[in-house]
């Protein structure tokens, strides 16, 4: 009985090699797509930062709200509506991002969501202690925030009156992956339904959506986020002292050492009135930017295409040997 030229082993090898070549090619194309996405983000950042600074107002056209564009906003703080974004590490240290609405002049219920900066966890733990994993008043049934922080409102005191805030526009509050959203559903890390909370506590959540924040506070938000890049000051006051030096209040793209931060805090205390809570702020205005290393993705793509080529060559070798056996049989 003649031996079959294409054994089951040979057929299986051909199928696996073909699948491997297709998968590796797909992964290479995916890496090229990732590289294109990062190039697009880089172009968006460069375009936004090249535009003239924008003065935010309630009637600012939506098309002017370009991400990464420098912007300023004038209004009054609502510190009682502050939300803490937890698990935001900075240089390996755990801490919070502090988000507070700034009420614009007109109309009275229009605000801009300001990311005021990063604060180390121990700064609030020492001041008032933290209360994690407990339901806050006003939560939907079965929902809970990541926790609340007692005494935080007093620690994060803000000056009263009209303030001028400068920063950079973000399309939304940068999100962290939240495993709890899978199992617990839509309201896994939802804000309390009504803000502010009682007893000077502040909610601490993983992520913050502007629409949820608007529903909880009753405010109307401009559809953009302002990431603060310098200490706020009284409206109309000179900012020459802050503008003349590099500091922890400087651009987000420039990391700062602890010595530089200490020197900057001292300079701020001298330059600003002692009665201004913003003068003694320990917030750090050093915001992360998306990874822009598209060359790395292209390198990965080249590797995947190389694996696909090896699989294709192996397929040809196996098929060629099978054909030769068929011819000789």
Determine the pLDDT at residue 156: 86
Of residues 243 and 45, the one with the higher pLDDT is 45
pLDDT of 225 above 80: yes
Q: Is the dihedral of CA 152, 157, 162, 165 positive or negative?
A: negative
Give the predicted TM-score (pTM) of the model.
0.72
pLDDT, tens digit, 9 for 90 and up, residues 83-126:
999 999 999 999 999 999 999 977 778 999 999 999 998 888 65
Average pLDDT of span 231-256: 50
pLDDT, tens digit, 9 for 90 and up, residues 180-215:
554 444 444 568 888 998 777 899 999 999 999 999
Q: What are phi and psi of 94, to 5 degrees?
A: -75, 150
Query: Distance between CA atoms of 194 and 77, rounded to whole angstroms?
Result: 18
Of residues 234 and 136, the one with the higher pLDDT is 234
Structure tokens of 70?
């420098």
Could you state, in order of their start, the residue ranges of all structural domains in the chain? 8-44+293-328, 51-280
Average pLDDT of span 284-308: 94
pLDDT of 272 above 60: no
pLDDT of 264 above 80: no
Average pLDDT of span 246-256: 37
Label residue 318 exposed, middle or buried (CB < 10 Å: 0-12, 13-18, 19+): middle
CB-CB contact of 112 with 221 (8 Å): yes
Q: How confident is the prediction for the chain on average, in pLDDT?
A: 79
Determine the pLDDT at residue 180: 52
**pLDDT-based confidence at residue 305 (cuts at 50, 70, 90):** very high
pLDDT of 287 above 50: yes
Average pLDDT of span 36-62: 94
């Amino acid at each position: 009985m003649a031996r079959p030229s294409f054994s089951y082993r040979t057929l299986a090898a051909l199928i696996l090699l073909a699948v491997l070549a297709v998968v590796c090619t797909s992964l290479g194309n995916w890496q090229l797509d990732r590289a294109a996405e990062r190039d697009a983000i880089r172009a968006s950042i460069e375009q936004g930062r090249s535009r003239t600074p924008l003065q935010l107002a309630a009637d600012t056209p939506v098309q002017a709200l370009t991400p990464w564009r420098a912007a300023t906003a004038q209004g009054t703080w609502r510190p009682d509506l502050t939300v803490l974004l937890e698990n935001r590490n900075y240089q390996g240290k755990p801490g919070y991002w502090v988000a507070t609405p700034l009420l614009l002049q007109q109309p009275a219920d229009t605000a801009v969501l300001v990311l005021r900066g990063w604060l180390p966890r121990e700064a609030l733990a020492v001041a008032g202690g933290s209360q994690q994993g407990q339901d806050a008043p006003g939560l939907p049934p079965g929902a809970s925030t990541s926790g609340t922080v007692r005494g935080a409102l007093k620690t994060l005191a803000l000056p009263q009156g009209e303030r001028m805030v400068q920063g950079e526009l973000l399309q939304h509050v940068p999100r962290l992956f939240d495993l709890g959203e899978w199992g617990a559903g839509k309201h896994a890390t939802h804000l309390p339904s009504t803000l502010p909370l009682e007893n000077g506590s502040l909610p601490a959540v993983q992520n913050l959506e502007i629409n949820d924040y608007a529903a909880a506070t009753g405010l109307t938000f401009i559809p953009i986020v302002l990431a603060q890049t310098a200490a706020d000051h009284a409206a109309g006051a000179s900012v020459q002292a802050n503008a003349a030096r590099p500091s922890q209040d400087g651009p987000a793209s420039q990391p700062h050492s602890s010595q530089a931060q200490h020197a900057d805090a001292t300079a701020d205390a001298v330059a600003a009135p002692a009665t201004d809570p913003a003068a003694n702020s320990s917030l750090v205005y050093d915001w992360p930017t998306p990874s822009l290393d598209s060359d790395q993705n292209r390198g990965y793509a080249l590797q995947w295409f190389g694996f696909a080529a090896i699989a294709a060559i192996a397929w040809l070798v196996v098929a060629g040997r099978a054909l030769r056996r068929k011819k000789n049989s």
